[in-house]
Every structure is written in structure tokens, then in C-alpha cells.
């Protein structure tokens, strides 16, 4: 139940951050600060540290445009969710711009021509305006590729084909 509440909180804060229309550069700077100072993030999410001290840290470290938002997050004890909030913000902003995220798992990275063909396929399949594709090497596929995007998995790997063949043989 706590995870559900946290997911809902992350989504609500992410949407609120987007709706505030803060400068993208300031949001990116805040993400960089968060990622480069894990001790600071730990202190700001620690219940033992006084709220007054946490708010003072926010004022000293983060871009001015971000301070009010971050103080609300801090005041409501949601600092530990901040990475998820920033990830949710990016996901929400991309969805508003009709950008889809895809993960391409393959044995060997595709060349430029192949990658462009895969990008066009994902754009057509999901009716998106742009695609951000992460490429992950996965030798266990034996050949081919798997694309994960929009909650779907498109398995065009040798391993996937062998599994399908195995299932057909078992059913006979």
C-alpha cells in the first residue's frame, strides 16, 4: 500500500512540477546537484535533521526558481521521492510532446542505417513524434533484437524464436 501511495505522490509532484513551467535548465541543474551529492540528499530526507536546516540548505544550493517547489517536497517529507519525481517529470513532459522512450536490446549494436529503420518503426508503431532509444547489449538473445516501448515488448530475437518453436512442439 505504501508503494501505491508513493507512486501516486511521485506522479502528483511530477505533474505539478511540469505545470509550474519552471525553466528546464533549472530542473536539470537540480537533478545534477541531486545526483552529484548523495550525502546531501540523504541529509535532506533524514527525519532527524530539523526542517529549518533542510530549508536553509535548499535556499543555499538549488536554483532560485526551484526553491519553492523543493521546499514543499521537503516540508511534506517527500524528499526521498525526489529522483522518482524528476524521472516522472521527464516522462510526463515527453508524453506531452508525444515522445516515446524505447529500449533496444541486441547482441551487437545496430549501424546507423539499421538504427534509423528501428526508430522509424517505433515512431510508426506508437504514432509518436520522436523516440529516445537506449541500446543495451544482451548476448543472451543469440541474435536479433527486442524493443521495449509503450508498455509493449517486440521480440525479434533468436532466443524468442527458439522459445516460440519450443512452445509449438510442446503443444503437439
pLDDT of residue 2: 60
Each residue's pLDDT tens digit, 58-102: 999 999 999 999 999 999 999 999 999 999 999 899 989 999 999
This prediction's pTM: 0.72
Distances (CA, A) of 166 to 55, 142, 162: 59, 16, 6
Distances (CA, A) of 145 to 37, 44, 79, 104, 121: 37, 42, 38, 7, 13
Each residue's pLDDT tens digit, 8-35: 999 999 999 999 999 999 999 999 999 9
pLDDT of residue 58: 96
**Structural domain boundaries in the chain:** 2-94, 97-171
Of 1.20.120, 1.10.8, 1.10.20, 3.40.30, the CATH number of 97-171 is 3.40.30
CATH class of the region 2-94: mainly alpha
C-alpha cell at 47: 527525519
Cβ 156 vs Cβ 146: under 8 Å: yes
C-alpha cell at 142: 543469440
Q: What is the mean pLDDT of the chain?
A: 93
Q: What is the mean pLDDT of residues 36-56?
A: 93
**2-94 and 97-171 in the same fold:** no
Amino acid at each position: 500500500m505504501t508503494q501505491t501511495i508513493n507512486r501516486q505522490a511521485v506522479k502528483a509532484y511530477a505533474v505539478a512540477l511540469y505545470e509550474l513551467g519552471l525553466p528546464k535548465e533549472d530542473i536539470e541543474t537540480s537533478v545534477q546537484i541531486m545526483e552529484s551529492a548523495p550525502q546531501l540528499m540523504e541529509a535532506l530526507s533524514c527525519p532527524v535533521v530539523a526542517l529549518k536546516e533542510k530549508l536553509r540548505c535548499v535556499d543555499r544550493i538549488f536554483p532560485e526558481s526551484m526553491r519553492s517547489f523543493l521546499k514543499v517536497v521537503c516540508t511534506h517529507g517527500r524528499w526521498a521521492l525526489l529522483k522518482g519525481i524528476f524521472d516522472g517529470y521527464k516522462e510526463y513532459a515527453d508524453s506531452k510532446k508525444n515522445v516515446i522512450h524505447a529500449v533496444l536490446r541486441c547482441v551487437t549494436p545496430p549501424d546507423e542505417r539499421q538504427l534509423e529503420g528501428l526508430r522509424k518503426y517505433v515512431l510508426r508503431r506508437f504514432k509518436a513524434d520522436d523516440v529516445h532509444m537506449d541500446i543495451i547489449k544482451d548476448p543472451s538473445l543469440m541474435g536479433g533484437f527486442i524493443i521495449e516501448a509503450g508498455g509493449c515488448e517486440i521480440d525479434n530475437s533468436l532466443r524468442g524464436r527458439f522459445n516460440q518453436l519450443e512452445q509449438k512442439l510442446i503443444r503437439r
